[in-house]
Amino acid sequence: MSLRFIDTHCHFDFPPFVDDVPESLARAAQAGVEQIIIPATQASRFAALMALVDNHAPLYAALGLHPIVIEQHDDESLAVLENWLKQQPEKLVAVGEIGLDLYRDAPQFTRQQAVLDAQLALAKRYDLPVILHSRRTHDKLAMHLKRHNLPRTGVVHGFAGSLQQAERFVQLGYYIGVGGTITYPRASKTREVMARLPLSALLLETDAPDMPLNGFQGQPNRPERAAQVFAALCELRSEAPAAIADALIRNTNKLFASL
């Protein structure tokens, strides 16, 4: 039985994929990855990303301002984002990648929060879900999400927090992104979270070319490895693989309605 997958978070507009798009898409399709959502990082990349998804049927876009490059974002960046959202392009499925990050030096956290709030307001105005980045900020992010109360909610991608933090996001109506971290036996906390959350709360992702899987350290991650993340998830869950695969697709289509 062949299973199908959607990679809900892949930076396909970066090397090595953008250097050979047909080959990268073929490799993904061979592994059962039929659709790929590409979250943007900054306004200067929006036009190229939208051109990329318009030219390739399996690709979809999210547009947003990533907190890790907060110094790249200004009021003009937010205006560019809103201009794209106003146009409602057919293959624009979310606002993202947005969020909070306290991992880097000099995080400009007050500004991060202001930029996040502005983007959550835009997502609400244009009725789009959000793709969320959170490092060392889960509790603070949950406060922002509760305050904005988005009708379409979103996904906290690459989640590596506690079960209690994950359950709070789920209670707020958000999904949790399952990535390559669970392929590492030492990642016992994250593995337990993905084993215990309701299957209805999970989405599959790679974060390629980042977040390499166990056994591929030092190599760019790739969208076809979503199949290996799925296999690792199946080892942690009691449901049958076909039921898990169906639920992941169903969850993805429910959140990203225009896929």
The CA-atom distances, in angstroms, between 236 and each of 167, 180, 232 are 18, 13, 7
Q: Are 173 and 155 in contact (CB under 8 A)?
A: no
- Please tell me the distance from the alpha carbon of residue 212 to that of residue 83, in angstroms, as a whole number: 34
SS3 category, 177: strand
Closest CA to 28 of 248, 204, 255: 204
Provide the β-strand partners of residue 178.
204
Annotated binding site: 9, 11, 97, 133, 157, 207
Helices within 21-150 (DSSP H only): 21-30, 46-55, 75-87, 109-125, 138-148
How many helices (H) and strands (E) in the chain?
A: 9, 8
Phi, psi of 254 (to 5 degrees): -70, -40
* Residue where the block lists tokens 């929060």: 113
Angle at 255 between CA 27 and CA 232, to 5 degrees: 45
Tokens of 49: 């990303």
Annotated binding site for a divalent metal cation: 9, 11, 97, 133, 157, 207
